[in-house]
Amino acid sequence: MEKVLAYLQKNQSRFIQELCDYVRFPSVSAQPAHKEDMNRAANWLAERARAAGLEARLEKTPGNPVVMATTGRRKGRPHYVIYGHYDVQPPEPFDLWKTPPFEPTIRDRKIFARGVSDNKGQHLAHLYAIEAYLKTNTELPADVTFLVEGEEEVGSNNLAAFLKSHREELACEAFVISDTGMPSLKQPALTYALRGLTAFEIKVTGPNRDLHSGIFGGTLENPAMALCQLLAQLRDKKGRVNIPGFYDDVKPLTKLERAEMSRLPYKENDFKKFLGVRELAGEEGFTPNERRSARPTLEINGLTSGYQGAGSKTIVPSWASVKITCRLVPNQSPKKIFKLAAAHLKKICPPTVKIEITEGHGGDPCIVDPTSDIAKAGLRALEKAFDAKPMLLREGGSIPILNDIKKIIGVDTLLLGLALPDDNAHSPNEKFEIESFTRGMQMAAYLWQELNV
Amino acid sequence: MEKVLAYLQKNQSRFIQELCDYVRFPSVSAQPAHKEDMNRAANWLAERARAAGLEARLEKTPGNPVVMATTGRRKGRPHYVIYGHYDVQPPEPFDLWKTPPFEPTIRDRKIFARGVSDNKGQHLAHLYAIEAYLKTNTELPADVTFLVEGEEEVGSNNLAAFLKSHREELACEAFVISDTGMPSLKQPALTYALRGLTAFEIKVTGPNRDLHSGIFGGTLENPAMALCQLLAQLRDKKGRVNIPGFYDDVKPLTKLERAEMSRLPYKENDFKKFLGVRELAGEEGFTPNERRSARPTLEINGLTSGYQGAGSKTIVPSWASVKITCRLVPNQSPKKIFKLAAAHLKKICPPTVKIEITEGHGGDPCIVDPTSDIAKAGLRALEKAFDAKPMLLREGGSIPILNDIKKIIGVDTLLLGLALPDDNAHSPNEKFEIESFTRGMQMAAYLWQELNV
């Protein structure tokens, strides 16, 4: 094990340079203009895996290719699959980035770039741990396969089919994913529950064209106002989502879980300052940590209507639209919540406008047993690498494919996240701490020992 | 007078050809690329006025030039100023035009082109009436000056200063403007009131950056939701603007005015079909014609927040903004209404977001006495030219300069509009009926007789 750790130490600056190379690809899966960048990023990763000593290939899907890289299988040995994603969130708005999103910049031992924390840096840490075993001729106590996809940020729509068609090759003890977070570098964490997601868009249409607000204004519904009045009704005064049936399937938090959550570091003033708000908000009867991890939400992600340029244009706009995502908790179902929302919206929509509701991607919420042997091995690897006792976390984000892994491959997933709360995932100025990267590699190296004690 | 009318009749096809020449200039004041086209259109008009027998010149302004053309002044004679504008609205979206906006096409006795109705055809009708007097050596009973500007569609920002610096030259009995509408060719109309306007923008800011909706969603206000809940409160269930004091200064409609309005042609099904809506909306207790001309409104012109691209982006957006214009009626004040709105919005804004409210442009509502001698002369001219009893109209749009004319020159304006409701002003496929044009010239010819009975 010393050789492995020494190798990681010795090659650190190369690893950082390579991570910088990797994040230069603008692999934005949501934007069709970046289609070719997806292939470039995937090819780079496959090449990197080969250099590490793995057999690597790209597998076509109806969307972006999947990178598969493996140590090879030897009979009688345990097998684990490490999942990651090489696609990234859109970088917009560009003007809020201090340095360009696809020109990685190191400041204060942090690497700034879109996708560096979510998720390129995290799965690369696992790859380098495997490289360290292979290049130092240290016996890797398990066979390992990397499965790195290019559609996580747009709902992993082709992954379930891929898991199905590769069921045999992917049969394993467990999946390992580093795509979650830890409260701080002194508080590593294993995540045992994630929120699910259902995304949808609403478009409300009034007149068949933008109309002169002087000549026609006052005689017909303004679709932007109709949309605002619809959306306003979706949240009540207690901060709850006001869709009948929305909370029906929510599994309540146990006393034990609430106690564990109350141990999480939380300083209200620091949190407010970090977010840049004067006051927090949220559902009555729950703490901020509960609200952001164990309670469902409905968030407006974007609003569009009428004239948005400089100055004014005196129109009644023809239409208005909104992008919404609901975060869901165990045991809510994305399909059911979408149906409830759509039915409610259609019911409360006034007859003066036409409403169209389009279902987007969805993902089930997920919860696993944090006391299993595999979970315990993960906790030990974290403790060794970070020199601190790890916490058990529920997280607010979503990894939709966890439920597919459970259903199709039949195994649980070990979530060993390396992102920090201020990494700005999905925001401008995303960063990844060099220490997260280096301790992450160590954790990934220890993991194979701990899993096979 | 027979000679004048005969001249108009005889030269009709030349007038139509010349109007076609005039609308070929893409004099789009909003688009800097058309700067030189503005000068070309202005020069064409000055040349045309000279050919009609007027003294014409271009006057520089900080923006586009003003065309001034006059019959000359003779002592002791009344003087009238005819106002028009040679600039036009942007033609976009091009793909909705059946024939190109700057290639005039005649179909079914209608001329299709951007600016043909708003306003080139309308002021040209006045010019040809004067030409008919001058070329037939018929005594014109008044001195007449044309003032045709090139910035009406972008707010006439330089016109007040121009009126001030030409106060003496423009001293007159009244301004005459044909830039409004009539219900149909069988219902000519004099417009005696216009709505005013106050424009403003609201920006609501939450977190200092877009945040991951999974990691943070649920713990803080979503600014887009906060904005929707604010805006939703601005309209009550009766379709009224819900800002305290908003209606305080509204001059109620008299019985006579309501009776006159009820004479306006109105077919609900046709109107709905024209707008493309299944149901109309508006303030309880008022008819659609009252709502769109004599009642104040608050309209959302545009909404902006978060991610508006393809697919979804799972964020709590940092901010949300809205563009609003209120149409105002006599005796509301744009400044006062802005202040009431801003104060109310600040009051109802939750402490979880920061609100910024920015005042835009404004214009006073306007009303003139429809029983004055000048108004009566206008009504007689309309009746003679259109063979029908004219109506008294209140219009929903705004012509901000009317109040400048009143303040600076000290006179009222006679509004003798020639546009039809389906002329598509500001929309694709703008047109002007040849009959509007020819009867408009006759009306303009009769006007000088009637004004001096």
How far is Cα B355 from Cα B89, in angstroms, rounded to an integer? 33
> Which tokens in the block code for residue B360?
């835009």
The pairing of beta strand A196-205 with beta strand A319-328? antiparallel
Average pLDDT, chain B: 95
Q: Give yes or no on whether B2-194+365-450 and B196-250+296-363 have one common fold.
A: no
A2-194+365-450: which CATH architecture?
3-Layer(aba) Sandwich (3.40)
Residue A127 has pLDDT above 90, yes or no: yes
Please write the tens of the pLDDT for every residue from A309-356: 888 888 999 999 999 999 999 999 999 999 999 999 999 999 999 999
Does B212 sit within 8 Å of A282, measured CB to CB? Answer: no
Predicted local distance difference test score (pLDDT) of residue B27: 98
Residues in chain A: 453
Q: Contact A386/A435 with Cβ under 8 angstroms?
A: no
Within 8 A of B310 by CB-CB distance, chain A residues are 30-32
Residue B453 has pLDDT above 80, yes or no: no
CB atoms within 10 A of CB A68: 23
- Please name the member of A201, A214, A225 whose beta carbon is closest to the beta carbon of B397: A214
Q: How confident is the model at residue A266 (pLDDT cuts 50, 70, 90)?
A: confident
Does A222 sit within 8 Å of B227, measured CB to CB? Answer: no
Q: Show the CA angle centred on residue B429, arms to residues B428 and B434, nearest 5°.
A: 145
Does A395 sit within 8 Å of B215, measured CB to CB? Answer: yes
Predicted local distance difference test score (pLDDT) of residue B86: 98
Instruction: Using alpha carbons, select from A222, A18, A237, A397 the residue that is nearest to residue B292.
Output: A222
- Please name the member of B229, B291, B354 whose beta carbon is closest to the beta carbon of A218: B291
Which string of b and e fits B268-279 if b means at least 16 CB within 10 Å?
A: eeebbeebebee
Does B426 sit within 8 Å of A213, measured CB to CB? Answer: no
DSSP track, A164-220: HHTTTTT--SEEEE--SB-SBTTB-EEEEEE-EEEEEEEEEE-SSS-EETTTTTTSS
Phi, psi dihedrals of residue A273, rounded to the nearest 5°: -65, -40
Predicted local distance difference test score (pLDDT) of residue B281: 97
Residue B431 has pLDDT above 90, yes or no: yes
Predicted local distance difference test score (pLDDT) of residue A403: 85
Q: Is B279 on the interface with A (CB under 8 A)?
A: yes
Instruction: Using alpha carbons, select from B81, B88, B158 the residue that is nearest to residue B121.
Output: B88
Residue A400 has pLDDT above 80, yes or no: no
* Segment B426-432 mean pLDDT: 93
Give the nearest chain B residue to A212 (CA atoms): B426
Q: Is A284 on the interface with B (CB under 8 A)?
A: no
* Segment A279-306 mean pLDDT: 96
Residue B264 has pLDDT above 90, yes or no: no
Residue B362 has pLDDT above 90, yes or no: no
Residue A415 has pLDDT above 90, yes or no: yes
Does A300 sit within 8 Å of B306, measured CB to CB? Answer: yes
**Helix B434-450 × helix B373-386 angle, to 10°:** 140
**A255 DSSP assignment:** H
Q: In what order do the strands lie in the sheet with A105-107?
A: A105-107, A110-112, A431-433
CA distance A32 to chain B (A): 9
- Name the A residues in 144-173 with CB < 8 Å from any B CB: 154
Please write the tens of the pLDDT for every residue from B147-201: 999 999 888 989 999 999 999 999 999 999 999 999 999 999 999 999 999 999 9
Predicted local distance difference test score (pLDDT) of residue B175: 98
* Segment A394-398 mean pLDDT: 86
Q: Is A302 on the interface with B (CB under 8 A)?
A: yes
Q: What is the separation of C-alpha B166 from the centre of its chain, rounded to a whole number of angstroms? A: 24
Phi, psi dihedrals of residue A113, rounded to the nearest 5°: 180, 150
Q: Contact B197/B275 with Cβ under 8 angstroms?
A: no
Q: Is B137 on the interface with A (CB under 8 A)?
A: no
Q: Is B253 on the interface with A (CB under 8 A)?
A: no
Predicted local distance difference test score (pLDDT) of residue A348: 98
Amino acid in position B119:
N
Instruction: Using alpha carbons, select from A394, A400, A418, A393 the residue that is nearest to residue A360.
Output: A400
Please write the tens of the pLDDT for every residue from A285-298: 999 999 999 999 99
Does A306 sit within 8 Å of B302, measured CB to CB? Answer: yes
Q: Is B212 on the interface with A (CB under 8 A)?
A: yes
- Name the B residues in 26-45 with CB < 8 Å from any A CB: none
Q: How confident is the model at residue B347 (pLDDT cuts 50, 70, 90)?
A: very high
How far is Cα A4 from Cα A90, in angstroms, rounded to an integer? 36
Does B228 sit within 8 Å of A231, measured CB to CB? Answer: yes
Predicted local distance difference test score (pLDDT) of residue A49: 98
Q: How confident is the model at residue B385 (pLDDT cuts 50, 70, 90)?
A: very high
Predicted local distance difference test score (pLDDT) of residue B437: 98
Please write the tens of the pLDDT for every residue from A48-89: 999 999 999 999 999 999 999 999 999 999 999 999 999 999
Does B316 sit within 8 Å of A279, measured CB to CB? Answer: no
Residue A207 has pLDDT above 90, yes or no: yes
* Segment B396-405 mean pLDDT: 87
Greatest mean pLDDT among A92-96, A121-125, B389-393 lies in A121-125
Predicted local distance difference test score (pLDDT) of residue B221: 98
Average pLDDT, chain A: 95
* Segment B420-449 mean pLDDT: 95
Please write the tens of the pLDDT for every residue from A183-204: 899 999 999 999 999 999 999 9
Q: What are the boundaries of each domain within chain A?
A: 2-194+365-450, 196-250+296-363
Predicted local distance difference test score (pLDDT) of residue B259: 92
Q: Contact A86/A412 with Cβ under 8 angstroms?
A: no
Predicted local distance difference test score (pLDDT) of residue A260: 81
Predicted local distance difference test score (pLDDT) of residue A18: 98
| B237-251, B264-278, B294-308, B427-441: the lowest-pLDDT one | B264-278
> Which tokens in the block code for residue B211?
């945040």
Predicted local distance difference test score (pLDDT) of residue A242: 98
* Segment B328-338 mean pLDDT: 96
* Segment B210-228 mean pLDDT: 95
pTM: 0.81
CA distance A438 to chain B (A): 23
How far is Cα B439 from Cα B384, in angstroms, rounded to an integer? 9
Please write the tens of the pLDDT for every residue from B277-306: 999 999 999 999 999 999 999 999 999 999
ipTM of the complex: 0.84
Please write the tens of the pLDDT for every residue from A226-249: 999 999 999 999 999 999 999 999
Residues 6 or more apart whose CB falls under 8 angstroms from that of A340 comprise A243, A244, A245, A246
Does B306 sit within 8 Å of A323, measured CB to CB? Answer: yes
* Segment A426-432 mean pLDDT: 95
B196-250+296-363: which CATH architecture?
2-Layer Sandwich (3.30)
Q: How confident is the model at residue A395 (pLDDT cuts 50, 70, 90)?
A: confident
Work out the percent of chain B whose per-residue pLDDT is above 70: 100
Predicted local distance difference test score (pLDDT) of residue B301: 96
* Segment B100-125 mean pLDDT: 98
> Which tokens in the block code for residue A311?
């100055």
Q: How confident is the model at residue B272 (pLDDT cuts 50, 70, 90)?
A: very high
Phi, psi dihedrals of residue A295, rounded to the nearest 5°: -120, 145
Predicted local distance difference test score (pLDDT) of residue A261: 87
Within 8 A of B328 by CB-CB distance, chain A residues are none
Strands (E), A183-318: 189-194, 196-205, 211-212, 297-306, 315-316
3-state helix, strand, coil in chain A (%, to 5): 35, 25, 40
How far is Cα A422 from Cα A432, in angstroms, rounded to an integer? 9
Interface size between A and B, measured as CB pairs under 8 A: 320
- Lookup result for tokens 């179909």: B107
